[in-house]
Amino acid sequence: MRSPSKIKYLLSAIAACFALIVTPVALADPSEQGAVASNGKAIKNPGFDASGEAIEKVITVTRGKSQKGVPNIDASRIVGSTSNGIFYHNGRILNDPSGLKVNIIWYGTWTQAETSTIQNLITGLNGSQYYNINTTYYDSLKKPIPNLVTLGAQIIDSYSQGKSNLSDQQIWNVVSQAAQRNTAIYDSKAINLVLTSKDVTKTGFLTSYCGWHNFNYTNTNVPIQYAFIGNPGTNSACVFQQISPNGDAGIDAMASVIAHEIVETVTDPQLNAWYDSRGYENGDKCAWNFGTTTTLNGYQYNLIFNSKKYLIQQNWVNSGGGSCRLSY
């Protein structure tokens, strides 16, 4: 059975003068491998180890940092143009003519103000110049990703896996349980966002990453794409600015990570489609790069969706030599 690996929005700390500046960096893992427990018996869910964490390879990259799961480029699988700094490896992408459906699993306790900011972001992506960047990505038949996004099912999960130190396996449990309640989760053309409220902790969150995306299978044998993004509150590990466009530093920080995981999922849903020679996906290549911003009342923003302002990282344009941009 195939074992999905995950892509994490990782963090690295840089000391400058007398201040500690935390600079998150996006890293990718397009590899797949089976999982065997320490006792030699197969783990029930082969995507995770005995502790409930997703199986990953670790290699060393520049500046002495550890990067999880970055593969070597397999030249025999590259079928897309290499002139734009990102390569197509003949894998599946989410380019159905109906567009992307974004389902949300609200894990924990959420206010209306919190959910509305995120819902507005999802609906605002539809037909936007920002999401249009994804139309520069295509499959083996040169069929591009359409500039269409719809907000799908929304499911509330009141701490079914607890509040403390959730594992990767437990995030998948949240998704699989949601699928039993709403069959929209089974849609292979959708991404399922597991968003955790600020009172929920997860292993690795805020110390190693701000979010990640993955895929797995249920008994339907249909691939289910899902992502984890937590609410960091005011933790500067994943919060770029404490004064934020919508008056909630944690929610506004989540918005950029959500955009990051969405654009990566449509271009590399099963971790075998679009990524560069370092294993970086389109979102990774522009992580924490916001481009031109406007400052207002002490906060920065660069995009407006349905009258709400957001500070969203740029996305990699697979055209014209490749570059990080906010629109296409």
Whether 27 shows a pLDDT value over 60: the answer reads: no
Total Cβ atoms within 10 A of residue 298: 9
The pTM is what? Answer: 0.82
Q: What is the pLDDT of residue 28?
A: 30
User: For 127-167, where are the alpha helices, taking DSSP H only?
Assistant: none
DSSP string, 19-55: EEEEEEEEE--------B-TTSSBPSSTTB-TTSPBP
Q: Is residue 224 part of a domain?
A: yes
Q: Is residue 1 part of a domain?
A: no
At 270, list the tokens: 């099963």
- 187-235 per-position pLDDT tens digit: 999 999 999 999 999 999 999 999 999 999 977 788 999 999 999 999 9
Quote the number of domains for the chain. 1
**Between 31 and 85, the higher pLDDT residue:** 85
- 122-144 per-position pLDDT tens digit: 999 999 999 999 999 999 999 99
Beta strands in the chain (DSSP E): 7-16, 19-27, 58-60, 66-68, 87-88, 100-107, 149-157, 190-196, 209-217, 223-230, 274-275, 294-296, 299-301, 303-305, 308-310, 315-317, 323-325
Q: What is the largest CA-CA distance in the chain?
A: 58
CA distances to 74, 113, 190 from 120, in Å? 39, 11, 18
Q: What is the pLDDT of residue 243?
A: 97
Identify any residues that bridge with 228 across adjacent strands, giving them in sequence order: 194, 212
Q: What is the pLDDT of residue 107?
A: 98
- From the list 278, 285, 274, the residue with the least C-alpha distance to 315 is 285
Where is 254: in which H helix or E strand? helix 249-267
**How far is residue 149 CA from its own chain's centroid?**
16
Please state, for a pLDDT cut of 90, what percent of the chain lies above it: 73
The 10 Å CB-count burial string (b at 16+, else e) for 85-120 is: bbbbbebebbbbeebbbbbbbbbbebeeebbebbbb
Q: Is residue 174 part of a domain?
A: yes
Q: Is residue 45 part of a domain?
A: yes
Q: What is the pLDDT of residue 11?
A: 59
- 247-294 per-position pLDDT tens digit: 999 999 999 999 999 999 999 999 999 999 999 999 999 999 999 999
Whether 36 shows a pLDDT value over 60: the answer reads: no
- 53-92 per-position pLDDT tens digit: 654 322 222 222 223 333 334 445 455 656 899 999 999 9
Average pLDDT in the chain: 82
Whether 15 shows a pLDDT value over 70: the answer reads: no
Please provide the distance, in angstroms rounded to a whole number, between the alpha carbons at the two ends of the chain: 39
Q: Is residue 98 part of a domain?
A: yes
- 45-54 per-position pLDDT tens digit: 335 555 566 5
10 Å CB burial of residue 159 (0-12, 13-18, 19+) is middle
Contact at 8 Å (CB) between 102 and 149?
yes
- 82-121 per-position pLDDT tens digit: 689 999 999 999 999 999 999 999 999 999 999 999 999 9
Which amino acid, residue 18? F
Token pair 């990259």 is found at 61
Question: Would you call 220 helix, strand, or coil by DSSP?
Answer: coil
Which residues neighbour 243 within 8 Å (Cβ) at sequence distance 6 or greater? Answer: 249, 297, 298, 299
Owning domain of residue 265: 7-325
Q: Is residue 2 part of a domain?
A: no
- From the list 159, 163, 155, 158, the residue with the least C-alpha distance to 183 is 155
What is the spatial distance between Cα 46 and Cα 35, in angstroms, rounded to a whole number?
5
Q: Are strands 190-196 and 223-230 parallel, antiparallel or unpaired?
A: parallel
